[in-house]
Amino acid sequence: DQQVKQNSPSLSVQEGRISILNCDYTNSMFDYFLWYKKYPAEGPTFLISISSIKDKNEDGRFTVFLNKSAKHLSLHIVPSQPGDSAVYFCAASESLIMRFGAGTRLTVKP
Amino acid sequence: GAVVSQHPSRVICKSGTSVKIECRSLDFQATTMFWYRQFPKQSLMLMATSNEGSKATYEQGVEKDKFLINHASLTLSTLTVTSAHPEDSSFYICSASWHGRETQYFGPGTRLLVL
């Protein structure tokens, strides 16, 4: 069962513009949400997270928004840089058990 | 901080042999370690969760006798793929966290190819 969904397999953005990656979930028991960045043949790298009691968390160019009523979260990257090109995984956690979305491949064009 | 290593990074083996993959937390004590599997262009699928000194908890559909997990210390967990078959070929990734922390830190992964 896909409890975490990333419906856009890919996204292409111009350098300097905003990248918005979206994620939806179905399990209302998830209480912690994370975004990971992944390059081919490497493990995911933690980017940013948010607790279910918050609706926004910002860290530099990365901001995660959580809309619990819609069971939706998003990652904003601004300004986007070519080095941001990677696959981004959304993850949701319940009692420390994490479920991942299928990933969105972000390409930032110079 | 929060560095996790995996060894080997890639392994090729013959069908029927067993392969052991090590996962180490280098700069923290990992009270919980997780093993994931990723098929090409797919998401990470949790295989099992292991707490130091306890038996691993396997996800539904994961054969515990085939995928042996040991978490003998706070810095080391091992995954042994027993009697490997070509369908076991995949990318195996471990992660680790410490007590109460939601964030998991991932190793670089191990590419297994079974011929």
Task: Please enumerate in sequence order all residues whose Cβ is within 8 A of that of A20, keeping only pairs 6 or more positions apart, or say none.
Answer: A11, A74, A75, A76
C-alpha span between A64 and B87 (Å, rounded):
37
What's the gap in Å between the CA of A30 and the closest CA on chain B?
11
Of A49, A93, A102, the CB nearest to B43: A102
A98:B32 CB<8 A: no
Q: Which residue, among A67, A71, A89, A82, has the nearest Cα to A21 in the 3D structure? A: A89
What's the CA dihedral at B44, B47, B52, B54 to 10 degrees? Answer: 160
Nearest-by-CA chain B residue for A45: B106
Q: Regarding predicted confidence, which is higher, A97 or A21?
A: A21
Q: How far apart are CA A90 and CA A22, in angstroms?
A: 8
Top-confidence range, A40-54, A60-74, B45-59, B94-108:
A60-74
Does A1 have pLDDT greater than 70?
Answer: no
Alpha-carbon distance B6 to B94, whole Å?
8
Strands (DSSP E) found in B8-115? 10-13, 19-25, 32-38, 44-51, 57-58, 67-73, 76-81, 90-97, 105-106, 110-114
CB contact under 8 A, B43 and A89: yes
pLDDT at B1: 65
- Strand order of the β-sheet with A72-77 is A4-5, A19-25, A72-77, A62-67, A56-59
Rounded mean pLDDT of chain A? 94
For residue B93, give the nearest of A43, A99, A102 by CB distance: A43
Query: What integer pLDDT is reported at residue B93 of this predicted model?
Result: 95
- Quote the pLDDT of residue B51: 86
Q: Is the pLDDT of residue A7 over 80?
A: yes
Chain B interface includes A53 (CB < 8 A): no
Min Cα–Cα distance to chain B from A106, Å: 14
Say which amino acid occupies B100. G
Distance from CA of B108 to the nearest CA of A (A): 4
Closest B-chain CA to A92: B102
Residue A98 contacts B where some CB pair is shorter than 8 Å: yes
Taking the CB of residue A59, how many other CB atoms lie within 10 A of it? 10
**d(CA A51, nearest CA chain B) in Å:** 9
Across the beta sheet with B19-25, the strand order is B4-7, B19-25, B76-81, B67-73
Interstrand relation of A10-14 and A104-109 (parallel, antiparallel or unpaired):
parallel
Are β-strands B90-97 and B110-114 bridged in parallel, bridged antiparallel, or unpaired? antiparallel
Task: Mention every residue, 6+ apart, whose C-beta is less than 8 A from residue B72.
Answer: B52, B53, B78
pLDDT at A86: 96
The model's pLDDT over B39-85, given as tens digits with 9 standing for 90+, comes to: 877 889 999 999 888 889 999 999 999 999 998 888 999 999 999 99
pLDDT the model gives residue A2: 80
Q: Please tell me the predicted confidence (pLDDT) of residue A110.
A: 92
Mean pLDDT computed over every residue of chain B: 91
Contact B9, B109 (CB under 8 A): yes
Report the length, in residues, of chain A: 110
pLDDT the model gives residue B107: 94
Which comes out higher in pLDDT, residue A67 or B98? A67
Distance of CA B92 to the CA centre of its chain: 6
Q: What is the average pLDDT across A39-58?
A: 92
What percent of chain B shows pLDDT beyond 90?
70
